[in-house]
């Protein structure tokens, strides 16, 4: 279980650092609170307020049972729902849980045990004293945060945020002479509960994960990927049928993990996932926070031993470098500098861990991929990927063509995406599966699967599938990049990023002819005229039957060229130059073109557009 050991090390390394201050303490979890109640040190009510959605996330102490509760009566140790903490709940509620006596007594007994222990805290005693009065709902009504039905005097059919009033989750503040104690942010309260709960844990046994003896748990934390996540990585609540496949008799024989180890390992994983979240401003000016490493049910987690940088494995080289560069040598220099967060010297035992979590059901979380690599090897593999998929691409942000590598999400979008609101969008599940397949190519330096390249070539050969021409351009650029990568991986040779005038490959030259026909017809259009050229209409047929289809394209192109003799002269010269490089046998060969035709098309298309730019400068 090497991944568990690495996560445990993350906790031990980060918990005392500034970055690790957001990591959950053991025996704690998070909840979304709707109400905050403030009381005095003597247990007198001060006030209550509704919690905004932005501030609702609350760190709460939990027991093994309460952290895993789904039904039954299992109170939280401190902050909890009204049905547990309000002694006067039954006066205002209707329905199945209108009599909350058992809920309230279970909660108060548990809180009293904490208060009576030698690990107690003044704030906990104050909250216990207040809740023992059984006046919480009355005070909330008087404060205006709970609304009653005028006719029945019961809870009105109203919500606080997205939760009905009677299901509201309550957290506490306590005022004393030193100021305000915010219980969900107070480290002393965290420590108080940890020490108290540690004494109530079960019998000790051998922990299979670290080989030490400690209190063992079989109720492991959920909420790993987000606050609403119910899936668990380790679970042992099914003992019927063929669960153990005849190898073991009981769950204790199958697996045994200590409570301390489980808590630290899970909390470290939650922290690693949380630190991947980024904040951006969307097209409408709204601030949004999201995790770019989440694809439907798949969540990727990447970290290094020292936790001194966050490795990037799905982005393009330009997204990693975050600087403009004007040449390939400059690109290579910046890539080495930025690839590993600025690190160039690697400790011999320093590693990079890559983990993929996927949930087939709502209750079970699987490790879909896990890889450990030395940092030096990981850096070499990453550089190999970015240099191997380097290709000339149009950058919409810079509004010019630059050298850039492939990102894994964009490859998936090119393979399976459809146009949605002018952009290529792919089903998140398909994207996650594709990224899982390609991750070993990026991180471990494995060969590119041939079917991935073939899929992009097929997409690029069908431009009429795209309403927006720029989407087809993106597909062609990625297809060319992966063709280059495949040629390198399978020792077919190197492919240049610029036009190769000495290349006599049949498919390459036919691709050049396709680019000439497309550009020549386009140049005869009026400035605002937008039509699909004949070359693009016949592209798919051309890739399958080039000799036969080229004759049709030439015939249809002629009337356009006759409109403007200077265009005819210019492009006839280009066509003749390409024809001169092709033997009669190659030209008359009507068999399907190889992927090199896309390289030829892209090379010559770039040459023609640059030629136009240069003439414009001369003018």
The domain in which residue 8 lies consists of 1-29+201-275
Task: Give exposure, 502-529, as e/b (b: 16+ Cβ within 10 Å).
Answer: ebebbbbbbbbbbbbbbbbbbbbeeeee
- Same domain? For 326 and 444 the reply is yes
Q: Within a 10 A sphere around the Cβ of 490, how many other Cβ atoms?
A: 11
Q: Checking phi first, is residue 341 left (phi over 0); if not, alpha (psi -120 to 50) or beta? A: left
Q: Cα 258 from chain centroid?
A: 30
In a domain, 294, yes or no: no
Task: Select from 149, 180, 198 the last residue of a domain.
Answer: 198
In a domain, 283, yes or no: no
3-state secondary structure 281-349: ECCCCCEEEECCCEECCEEEEEEECCCCCCCCCCCCHHHHHCCCCCCHHHHHHHHHHHCCCCCCCCCCC
Residue 618's pLDDT is what? 36
- Same domain? For 348 and 457 the reply is yes
Asked if residue 215 lies in contact with residue 258, where contact means CB atoms within 8 angstroms, the answer is yes
Mean pLDDT by 10 residues, the chain (619 residues): 89 89 92 96 96 94 90 94 95 87 96 95 97 96 94 92 94 94 96 94 87 89 88 77 68 86 95 91 82 93 91 91 78 81 82 92 90 93 94 91 94 96 93 96 96 97 95 97 95 90 96 96 87 95 97 94 88 95 95 97 94 45
Residue 614's pLDDT is what? 41
- Same domain? For 592 and 610 the reply is yes
Q: Within a 10 A sphere around the Cβ of 266, how many other Cβ atoms?
A: 25
Closest alpha carbon to 419 in 470, 457, 454: 470
In a domain, 281, yes or no: no
- Same domain? For 558 and 472 the reply is no
Stated as kind and residue range, the H or E segment containing 604 is helix 596-618
Task: Select from 452, 476, 497 the last residue of a domain.
Answer: 497
In a domain, 188, yes or no: yes
CA pair distance 112, 128, nearest whole angstrom: 7
Q: How many domains does the chain have?
A: 4
In a domain, 286, yes or no: no
- Same domain? For 476 and 531 the reply is no
DSSP β-ladder status, 169-176 and 35-40: parallel
In a domain, 287, yes or no: no
Residue 241's pLDDT is what? 62
Closest alpha carbon to 25 in 209, 189, 200, 242: 189
Residue 336's pLDDT is what? 80
- Same domain? For 479 and 383 the reply is yes
- Same domain? For 357 and 270 the reply is no
3-state secondary structure of 415: helix
Residue 16's pLDDT is what? 85
In a domain, 67, yes or no: yes
Residue 340's pLDDT is what? 79
CB half-sphere exposure, 401, CA atoms < 13 A: 18
Residue 295: both structure tokens together: 């694809």
- Same domain? For 444 and 588 the reply is no
Asked if residue 290 lies in contact with residue 278, where contact means CB atoms within 8 angstroms, the answer is yes
CA pair distance 511, 604, nearest whole angstrom: 8
How long is the chain?
619
In a domain, 231, yes or no: yes
Which DSSP category does 167 fall into? G
- Same domain? For 381 and 429 the reply is yes
- Same domain? For 528 and 568 the reply is yes
- Same domain? For 173 and 49 the reply is yes
- Same domain? For 177 and 216 the reply is no
CA pair distance 279, 287, nearest whole angstrom: 7
Asked if residue 385 lies in contact with residue 442, where contact means CB atoms within 8 angstroms, the answer is yes
Return phi, psi of residue 205, to 5°: -155, 175
Task: Select from 275, 291, 323 the last residue of a domain.
Answer: 275
């Amino acid at each position: 279980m090497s991944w568990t050991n690495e996560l445990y090390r993350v906790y031990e390394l980060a918990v005392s650092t500034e970055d690790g201050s957001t990591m959950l303490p053991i025996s704690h979890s998070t909840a979304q609170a709707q109400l905050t109640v403030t009381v005095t040190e003597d247990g007198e009510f001060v006030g209550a307020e509704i919690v905004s959605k932005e501030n609702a996330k609350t760190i709460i102490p939990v027991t093994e049972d309460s952290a895993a509760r789904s039904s039954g009566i299992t109170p939280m140790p401190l902050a909890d729902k009204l049905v547990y903490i309000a002694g006067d709940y039954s006066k205002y509620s209707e329905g199945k849980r209108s009599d909350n006596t058992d809920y309230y007594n279970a909660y108060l007994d548990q809180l009293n045990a904490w208060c009576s222990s030698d690990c107690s805290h003044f704030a906990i005693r104050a909250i216990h004293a207040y809740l023992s009065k059984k006046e919480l709902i009355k005070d909330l009504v008087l404060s205006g945060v709970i609304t009653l039905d005028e006719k029945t005097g019961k809870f009105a059919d109203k919500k606080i945020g997205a939760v009905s009033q009677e299901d509201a989750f309550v957290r506490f503040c306590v005022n004393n002479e030193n100021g305000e104690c915010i219980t969900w942010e107070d480290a002393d309260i965290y420590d108080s509960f940890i020490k108290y709960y540690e004494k109530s844990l079960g019998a000790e046994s051998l922990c299979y994960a670290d080989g030490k003896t400690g209190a063992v748990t079989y109720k492991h934390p959920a909420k790993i990927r987000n606050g609403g996540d119910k899936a668990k990585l380790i679970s042992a609540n099914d003992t019927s049928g063929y669960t153990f496949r005849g190898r073991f008799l009981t769950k204790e024989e199958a697996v045994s993990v200590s409570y301390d180890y489980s808590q630290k390992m899970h909390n470290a994983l939650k922290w690693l996932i949380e630190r991947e979240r980024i904040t951006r401003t969307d097209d409408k000016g709204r601030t949004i926070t999201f995790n770019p490493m989440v694809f439907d049910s798949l969540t990727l987690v990447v970290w290094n031993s020292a936790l001194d940088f966050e490795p990037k494995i799905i982005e393009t080289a330009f997204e990693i470098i975050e600087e403009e560069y004007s040449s390939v040598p400059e690109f290579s220099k910046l890539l080495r500098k930025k690839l590993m967060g600025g690190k160039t010297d690697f400790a011999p035992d320093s590693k990079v861990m890559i983990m993929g979590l996927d949930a087939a059901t709502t209750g079970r979380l699987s490790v879909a991929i896990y890889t450990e690599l030395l940092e030096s090897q990981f850096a070499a593999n990453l550089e190999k990927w970015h240099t191997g998929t380097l290709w000339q691409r149009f950058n919409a942000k810079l509004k010019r063509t630059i050298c850039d590598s492939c990102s894994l999400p964009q490859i998936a979008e090119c393979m399976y995406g459809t146009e949605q609101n002018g952009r290529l969008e792919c089903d998140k599940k398909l994207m996650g599966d594709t990224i899982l397949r390609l991750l070993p190519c990026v991180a471990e330096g494995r060969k590119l699967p041939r079917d991935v390249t073939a899929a992009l070539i097929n997409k690029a050969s069908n431009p009429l599938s795209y309403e927006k021409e720029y989407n087809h351009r993106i597909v062609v650029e990625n297809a060319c990049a992966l063709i280059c990568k495949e040629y390198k991986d399978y020792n077919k040779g190197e492919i240049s990023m610029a036009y190769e005038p000495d290349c006599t490959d049949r498919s390459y030259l036919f691709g050049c002819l396709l680019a000439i026909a497309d550009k020549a017809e386009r140049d005869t259009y009026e400035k605002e005229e937008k039509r699909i050229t004949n070359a693009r209409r016949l592209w798919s047929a051309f890739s399958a039957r080039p000799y036969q289809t080229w004759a049709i394209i030439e015939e249809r192109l002629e009337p356009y060229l006759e409109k403007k003799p200077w265009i005819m002269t210019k492009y006839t010269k280009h066509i003749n130059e390409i024809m001169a490089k092709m033997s009669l046998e190659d030209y008359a060969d009507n068999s399907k073109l190889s992927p090199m035709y896309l390289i030829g098309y892209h090379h010559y298309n770039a040459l023609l557009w640059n030629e136009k730019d240069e003439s414009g400068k001369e003018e």
